[in-house]
Amino acid sequence: MALSSSTQRWIEDVAGGRVVSVRVLRGATSSLLHVVDIETGGQKQSLVLRRFTDRKWVEREPDLAAREARCLQHAQRVDLPAPRLVAVDADGANCGVPATLVTMVAGTVVLTSDQRSEWVGGLASAAAQIHRVDAAGFPWKYRRYNESAQLAVPPWSTQPKAWAAAIAAVQSRPPTYRECFIHRDYHPSNVLWDNGRVSGVVDWVNGCRGPAGIDVAWCRHNLANLHSVAVADEFLDAYLTEAAGDFSYDPYWDLMSVVELLPGPPAMYEGWRAAGVAPISNTIMRDRVDAYVASVVARL
């Protein structure tokens, strides 16, 4: 059994059943995930236990589990395709570290598809569905991940002029936007598919109220890194269609998404490797990021 006795007792108490099996759920990069099978009255149910084991992250943001729980409750109220919250151990009293326990969503991560337009369209549709949700009064608000005054052109880049323009752009005043519910870490590795359709969006710990543009940008950045600028642009076109006029594109958010990862250098995301993507060299990753930055700067 991979769980401590106190953690298992807590799960059984809040789920109202008996833990019959536990297995690691691979692909997480910032926390530890386990699938926990519960038996209640002869019926089995699979739950997912997420434990926030990155102590530095927890020290910076001690409300991580509480935040994810609140996001999932908000998502459930408006019937978004997301896991349902079973329980939260906000301070880690039962699990040793802050933790959430949620229902397991059927489906798998899909990072490439022979039906690319349908795949990109599904990603765009799920994002637009989230952004149609009102977030007035939601306690967590969008914030950037680094300070603009500390940004510098990365020495590993072969596109220093493009990066200089990108940094100058995000150091200006952000564009006005309609505040809505956002995932804040929206990318293909957090989207599950079942029978060719999006079945769920997971990993809601960063959810908050803020600009839809940062979710669109984060997904575009990931698609450019995983595939190409062309795929990132296809996603934008699909999202603009799905948003049906309720969204105004601004390159500012695309550039914010890339400078948030400075100083770098970029490397292959471990979640891709866990999902079966062949290794991508650091050189290719740097080239893809540079190409994406240059393509967005050209939109300014």
d(CA 34, CA 248): 39
Average pLDDT over residues 148-152: 78
Final residue before a domain boundary, out of 87, 103, 119: 103
Final residue before a domain boundary, out of 42, 76, 103: 103
d(CA 279, CA 2): 29
Clarify whether residues 62 and 178 are in a common domain: no
Percent of the chain's residues with pLDDT above 90: 87
Clarify whether residues 113 and 205 are in a common domain: yes
CATH number at residue 254: 3.90.1200.10
pLDDT (0 to 100) of residue 42: 85
User: What is the pLDDT of the chain when averaged over all its residues?
Assistant: 94
Count, residues in the chain: 300
Clarify whether residues 90 and 133 are in a common domain: no
pLDDT digit string, tens, across residues 88-140: 999 999 999 999 999 999 999 999 999 999 999 999 999 999 999 999 999 99
Tell me, what amino acid is at 132? R
pLDDT classification of 85: cutoffs 50, 70, 90: very high
Clarify whether residues 117 and 224 are in a common domain: yes
Clarify whether residues 194 and 289 are in a common domain: yes
pLDDT classification of 241: cutoffs 50, 70, 90: very high
pLDDT digit string, tens, across residues 13-27: 999 999 999 999 887
Average pLDDT over residues 277-289: 96
Q: Give residue 299's region: left, alpha or beta (phi > 0; psi -120 to 50).
A: alpha
pLDDT (0 to 100) of residue 48: 97
Clarify whether residues 119 and 263 are in a common domain: yes
Clarify whether residues 151 and 228 are in a common domain: yes
pLDDT classification of 149: cutoffs 50, 70, 90: low
Clarify whether residues 95 and 235 are in a common domain: no
d(CA 162, CA 159): 5
Q: Does residue 246 have a pLDDT over 90?
A: no
Final residue before a domain boundary, out of 55, 79, 103: 103
Question: What is the span of the domain harbouring residue 277?
Answer: 108-297
Clarify whether residues 22 and 163 are in a common domain: no
Q: Does residue 74 have a pLDDT over 90?
A: yes
For the entire predicted model, the pTM comes to 0.95
Percent of the chain's residues with pLDDT above 70: 99
Strand partners, 32: 51
pLDDT (0 to 100) of residue 148: 66
Clarify whether residues 60 and 164 are in a common domain: no
Clarify whether residues 94 and 226 are in a common domain: no
Total tally of structural domains belonging to the chain: 2
d(CA 98, CA 58): 8
Clarify whether residues 140 and 261 are in a common domain: yes
Q: At what angle do helices 229-243 and 116-131 cross, to 10 degrees?
A: 50
pLDDT (0 to 100) of residue 268: 94
CATH number at residue 77: 3.30.200.20
